[in-house]
Structure 1
Amino acid sequence: QILVLTYPLIGNYGVPTETEFDENKLIKHFESDNKIWISGLIVGKLCDAPSHWRLKYKLAEWMQKHNVAGISGIDTRALTKQIRENGTVLGKIIQQPSGPFLGIEFKDQNERNLVAEVSTKTTKTYNAKGSPRICAVDCGLKLNQIRCFIKRGARVDVVPWDHSLNSNDFDGLFLSNGPGTCEKFLIKKIRD
């Protein structure tokens, strides 16, 4: 997915360190474990001189470190209006200044199992002595969702999206949001 941000200036705080963890061993200041899940970022204006006391990287440096393409100088509000009126479109960020754009393939992301790509591969338990016991199915789980359960005293077992569910193993079931469409598979799995 390519993310379009419409705020006029992006990156003015920069990006904090990726090596700071909280008491639950969850990475601080990020939504997921040290990974950018988008494949591209489009902004109107990128800040060249960010300033924040937690600043470790400029946004462009961090994106480059994670091999994420980006482009600035785009009228993102007009682009967002087009997307809103016409629906999502296939797109790429390329360095070729003008056409013809021969040999450039466009792949529909909905043909991939995006949930399998972002989901944890192993079961992870947080606050092991907590109660109630929550089974959180990771379809693109945000770290703050885990923190919210822990804050309320719950034990959280984060499981892969295709994990075999047994209702005897948990008191509550949480299905996270995420990319793509996995609801048909999950509904069948839950019913079984």
Structure 2
Amino acid sequence: MQYLILEDGSIYAGESFGAKIESEGEVVFTTGMTGYQEAITDQSYANQILVFTNPLIGNYGVCLADNESLNPQIKGVICHQVARYPDNWRMQESLPEFLQKRNIPAIQGIDTRSLVKKLRLHGTLNGKIASSKEQAEKIAAELREKNLTQHIIKQVSTKSPYPVPGSQRNIVVIDFGLKNSILKELTKRNCNCIVLPFSASSQEVLNLHPDGVLLSNGPGDPEEMQEAVKMVQEVEKHIPLFGICMGHQVFALANGAKTYKMKFGHRGFNHPVKEIATGKIGFTSQNHGYAVAEDSIDFQNLMVTYKEINDNTVEGLRHKKYPAFSVQFHPDATPGPYDEVSLFDEFMMMIDNFKGAKNA
């Protein structure tokens, strides 16, 4: 038996199916019907305990090719039921085996509907996966005093630059907690990528003479990313730029906007967004707990390109002077709908047009 203890004193009991360790994290939920492996290995979930709203996970096992990272930093998995007999021709191991090998605790048998209702009502809460509930009041009091997602991008970002070879456009990718699916979309377009740490300076970026710069997804509070903000402020003047998720928030901050922490965030693969210019609705994959404050945007420099249908939050920005844009959602999906994957093609076109104008 293991227990999930929340900072408000709530206790949820269930059966362990992951690593038998104790762990603390920010408790969040995802509405995705599939893609449990991609979610668990997404570094945007670093230092978080993830609750799956889908009542059954693990039914098709785990395949290494579907990992979004090799060393996931998630702090725990909560579900109603894990499949007892997973089956899939690509499967290499079961989900419990995967979690145990990576030292990630997990609990099944919890009333996830009740838990998610609590998170929606009260907002994101800190929690602890514990082997005993005897010290629940003390644990809850300690959890209320902790910031469990502070300064975590350096925990998930690459420590050293590395290449992902290609034959055409040279792209510098800034790793804030990079998903492999972003690199896959760039390599599909024959991009020659160099991945740099989150702390890369503008000079380090410019010294590589890239054709474009992509700011990746990542966990934590974007307001902590002041070095990256300064880097973007200089780089966007010289090179086409595309920001995704955390990259979108850093791009916004670099151009004078502000961000705020959402009540419970957007996590899942069914979030509808509206493209302002065309009125087109697309369904998107999302994973973020912060958003750009619309009333802080300097409309002399930026324009809003996408909005979320459910809560009207800002989902996309474009610079009016420089060849630079960003989106809050994940156009790479994986898993999820590919409604907006063409944004990678738009980035390629922006790069080619910029080079053409520069050489004219």
Q: Following TM superposition, by how much is the alpha carbon of 1:103 offset from its aligned partner in structure 2, in angstroms?
A: 5.8
Q: Which residue of 2 aligns with 1:31?
A: 68
Identity between Structure 1 and Structure 2 (%): 38
Partner Cα separation in structure 2 for residue 84 and residue 177 of structure 1: 24
2:124 is aligned, of 69, 74, 88, to 88
1:124 is aligned, of 142, 153, 162, to 162
Q: Tell me which protein shows more strand as a share of its residues.
A: 2
Deviations 1:167-187 (A, max 9, x none): 352111111111102354221
Structure 1: which 5+ runs fail to align?
19-27
> In the alignment, is the contact (CA less than 8 A) between 1:115 and 1:182 conserved in 2?
no
Partner Cα separation in structure 2 for residue 46 and residue 150 of structure 1: 34
Partner Cα separation in structure 2 for residue 170 and residue 182 of structure 1: 24
Q: Which residue of 2 aligns with 1:22?
A: none
Q: Which residue of 2 aligns with 1:178?
A: 218
1:187 is aligned, of 219, 229, 236, to 229
Partner Cα separation in structure 2 for residue 60 and residue 73 of structure 1: 14
Q: Which residue of 1 aligns with 2:95?
A: 59
TM-score (norm. length: structure 2): 0.47
Q: Which residue of 1 aligns with 2:136?
A: 101
Flag the structure with more relative contact order, 1 or 2, with Cα contacts below 8 A and sequence separation at least 6: 1
Query: Does the alignment pair 1:161 with 2:208?
Result: no
Q: Letter of the 1:108 partner, please give it.
A: N
Q: Which residue of 1 aligns with 2:355?
A: none
Query: Does the alignment pair 1:46 with 2:82?
Result: yes
Partner Cα separation in structure 2 for residue 154 and residue 148 of structure 1: 9
Structure 1 counterpart SS, 2:129: coil
Partner Cα separation in structure 2 for residue 69 and residue 103 of structure 1: 21
> In the alignment, is the contact (CA less than 8 A) between 1:11 and 1:58 conserved in 2?
yes
Q: Which residue of 2 aligns with 1:9?
A: 56
Structure 2: which 5+ runs fail to align?
1-47, 235-360
Q: Following TM superposition, by how much is the alpha carbon of 1:13 offset from its aligned partner in structure 2, in angstroms?
A: 0.8
> In the alignment, is the contact (CA less than 8 A) between 1:42 and 1:72 conserved in 2?
yes
Structure 2 counterpart SS, 1:91: strand
